[in-house]
Amino acid sequence: MKKVVVTGANGQLGKCLQAISANFPELAITFLTKEQLDISNVEEVSDYFKRNNFHYCINTAAYTNVEKAESDRESAFKINAEAVKILSEVCKANSIVLLHISTDYVFDGTKKAPYSEEDTTNPLNVYGASKLKGEDYIQQLCDKYYIIRTSWLYSQYGKNFYTSMLRFAEQGKKLSITTAETGTPTNANDVAEVCLQMVVSSASIPFGIYHYSNYGAATWYDFAKAIFEAKGLLDNVDLTPTDFFKTEAKRPSYSVLSKEKLSEMLPIKIKDWMHSLKAHVIATKNK
């Protein structure tokens, strides 16, 4: 049986992994919150990993507040880069495969076709730069790793675009949502399944960088509209598109990811974002 440790277990993706872990009885999975393991503490990580003989580490711990990162660069780099450096060193020392989650925001958005794994990175904001530095550390220090870049994650857990839109609808807020950015809304529950499938199928998946998101492309306005349509709330909200939305952090205007590389290796089919959103709404209807 493969022994797997998941860091950042209280985050959105960590909770999605916990929710489906019973579907993978061939994996013995340990979930750790930041309170249970501080991944920025090298002695703590080294001692814990050495004592537990894990085969895989899925790192879902991350600083994900894109706006706040602009004024809190130190914290963003501590979690997204320096802690990843520690995980890389400890995983290599203990022959552990590191599976790390990264982001579409490592790209600058100037391309008009889906980004492949080989395309040049050029992050526009602190968050993207910190995640790219984490990727660099893994490639420099770790010889057995998977880096999965994903995009626009949402789920039933925590604070994300999906849960925020539903909360705003309940509050009756007037919503102006930007059309200036195009990417792919991605169900974090799908990402969780892909992570565990990669661990199960790792013998046939070469180490390296992979892109995974749902299929298709949308603006944030498209995504908001689709959420309200799927929930039957569109007639109840005051939703308008805007081509301007002031933010602290610059964002890529286009960050759709190409999935061809990974789709050829996965035993599961990658879902279209609209299909996955509708399925998500049905699955969580009474929850």
Residues belonging to the active site? 127
CA–CA gap between residue 265 and residue 260 (Å, rounded): 9
Strand 2-7, strand 186-187: pairing: unpaired
Q: What is the DSSP string of 132-169?
A: HHHHHHHHHH-SSEEEEEE-SEE-SSSSSHHHHHHHHH
Residue 78 DSSP label: I
Are 249 and 70 contacting, i.e. CB atoms less than 8 angstroms apart?
A: yes
Instruction: Show the tokens assigned to 84.
Output: 């990843």
Measured in whole angstroms, the distance separating CA 201 from the mean position of its chain's CA atoms is: 20
Nearest to 255 by CA among 96, 65, 104, 31: 104
Are 38 and 90 contacting, i.e. CB atoms less than 8 angstroms apart?
A: no
CA–CA gap between residue 105 and residue 66 (Å, rounded): 10
Instruction: Show the tokens assigned to 200.
Output: 């199960």
CA–CA gap between residue 36 and residue 23 (Å, rounded): 24
